[in-house]
Structure 1
Amino acid sequence: MGNHIFLKVLGVSVIALAVALWLPGGQPPEEYKNLPWQVEVSSDGYSTVFGITLGKSTLGEVEQLLQEQPHINLFATDDGDRVVEAYFNTVNISGFKAKMVATLGFNEEQLQKLYDQGERISTLAMGKRKVTLSGADLAKARNTMVVALTYLPRTNLDESTVTKRFGEPAEKIMEADKKTEHWLYPDIGLDVVMSAEEREVLQYVAPNDFERLRKPLEKMNPATTGQPSP
């Protein structure tokens, strides 16, 4: 899910600085902007992170901001779930190299049309399919707003680092496998996926759309849903 920090051509000193931004004792210089913990929430319930306003910024605007062209596909499951995602393989924001996935805000009717008009369908594992969009639909995707971001840092995060940067979560939900725990921050629209075996994942939505993150967790482990953070 991630490896290390970029800018190695600048030497160990710059790498150490980048690492310090994540470490509990490190403080980012004022000129560093769009860091993962710098989430701005507006009075109308939208949030901005990495310079992207979730629910308002289009994929085309995100592409310009990140200076990378993503791989855009529709994913479908046997259960009828469908989503269009734009995958950015390498983004570099304020010295941090990471992967990022943008979820696009198509409604169910639009998703059905995209599925029907797809150029190619590939079968993936566990009843999942990947649909290659047509050229016209790719253009539509770039004019569609981004409603969620998944950020996969190359720097491994421990619990103390997450607490230092985001504070104590409002709620923790453990998945059924007992290896993955979700730290929920509804006030800023964040789910930090903590894992004992994998690198951590940060999932962002607008706070007024937080159920987009929380609802799937009810299916994973209903027994823990609703339990506040200790």
Structure 2
Amino acid sequence: MSELSSASVASRGVWWLRPVWLATAFVLFVLAGALIFPVWTSPPPVAAAASAPQGLPWQVKPTAEGSEVFGLLVGQSGLPQAQARFGDNLHLALIQAIGTKDEEAPALEGFVERLEAGFVTGRLVLAFEVDDALRRKAAERSPKREVGSGGRVRQLSLAADDLDVRNAESLASQARLVGLSFTPAARLDEATLVARFGEPAERVTGAGGEVQLLYPATGVAIAVPGANQSASRVVIQYVAPGEFEARLRQPLAAASAAQ
């Protein structure tokens, strides 16, 4: 898929390729290169709450079965809702690591190159959960395959039949949004993030000085580069609070142990 450039894939890592996708993200985010971006500044005070910016990264609302952020319900929304939210800015592909066994199903993910979240801009990756058999069949029908991310992953575009939400058995109709990953364009420090998201329930420090701020009540984990990782950027991940342990905390512990 031409829209999913190699540079774009490299910027977001390949953690979606694993059953629990944070494990690779924890390691890769500190390795990703970055351009020089402006500092994330606060907007001027507003006179009335009604005119306050909406859809900001820290405006996360827990729900009975997930969490609401960026106009989507993580843990509940499907591909049709994501397409309605982002329109042509949402690009979809099946992603598979080079060297992966043929019998392993590729991951289904979406990518928004530039998301305007209130007064904050950044890149957004969406992870979808779909039956393995459906993803394998979709991979077989893919009309185009490309190698991206420095030769580390293979991108497979989706056939029209797999994107047909009118077909109850299609890939698109059965996909469930299970995770979001937002990389702000601005450089952020831990103090700024805590001021916005609140005090985390837990901090986990990696071997390279990177810090994970964990917010299980809202399903948020924020990876903050260490002082010696100036080329890296913050990565904010969102999952349903009820899936926080399996999708974020456990993979994080495994990645820390591996380091």
Same fold (TM over 0.5): yes
TM range (shorter): 0.7 to 0.9
1:128 aligns with one of 135, 147, 153: 153
Q: Tell me the TM-score normalised to structure 1 length.
A: 0.76
1:84 aligns with one of 108, 113, 121: 108
- The runs of at least 4 consecutive aligned structure 1 residues that moved more than 4 Å come to 1-5, 26-29, 124-127
- TM-aligned CA distance change 1:221 to 1:68, over 3 Å: same
Q: Tell me the TM-score normalised to structure 2 length.
A: 0.69
1:46-84 deviation line (CA, Å, top 9, x unaligned): 100112111222233223323443221111132747311
The alignment partner of 1:148 has SS state of strand
Residues 58-69 of structure 1: pairs in structure 2 closer than 5 A: 58-69=78-89
1:216 aligns with one of 225, 228, 251: 251
- Return the offset for 1:141: 5.2
- Higher mean alpha-carbon deviation, 45-54 vs 102-111, is at 102-111
* Number of the residue aligned with 1:110: 134
Equivalent AA in structure 1 for residue 77 of structure 2: S
* Number of the residue aligned with 2:235: 201
Kept after mapping to 1: 8 A contact 2:135/2:171 = no
* Number of the residue aligned with 1:11: none
* Number of the residue aligned with 2:56: 35
Q: Number of residue pairs matched?
A: 207
- TM-aligned CA distance change 1:181 to 1:81, over 3 Å: farther
- TM-aligned CA distance change 1:200 to 1:118, over 3 Å: same
The CA distance in 1 between the partners of 2:42 and 2:116, in whole Å, is 16
* Number of the residue aligned with 2:176: 145
- TM-aligned CA distance change 1:136 to 1:95, over 3 Å: same
1:165 aligns with one of 177, 190, 196: 196
1:191 aligns with one of 202, 221, 227: 221
- TM-aligned CA distance change 1:170 to 1:107, over 3 Å: farther
- Higher mean alpha-carbon deviation, 112-121 vs 48-57, is at 112-121
Equivalent AA in structure 2 for residue 194 of structure 1: V
- TM-aligned CA distance change 1:70 to 1:3, over 3 Å: farther
* Number of the residue aligned with 2:42: 20
- Return the offset for 1:160: 0.5
- Return the offset for 1:4: 4.8
The CA distance in 2 between the partners of 1:71 and 1:3, in whole Å, is 25
Kept after mapping to 1: 8 A contact 2:65/2:76 = no
* Number of the residue aligned with 1:75: 95
Q: Using CA pairs below 8 Å that are at least 6 residues apart, which structure has the higher relative contact order?
A: 2
Equivalent AA in structure 2 for residue 131 of structure 1: L
Q: CA RMSD in A?
A: 2.8
Kept after mapping to 2: 8 A contact 1:87/1:100 = yes
- Higher mean alpha-carbon deviation, 204-213 vs 68-77, is at 68-77
Kept after mapping to 2: 8 A contact 1:117/1:134 = yes
- Return the offset for 1:209: 1.6
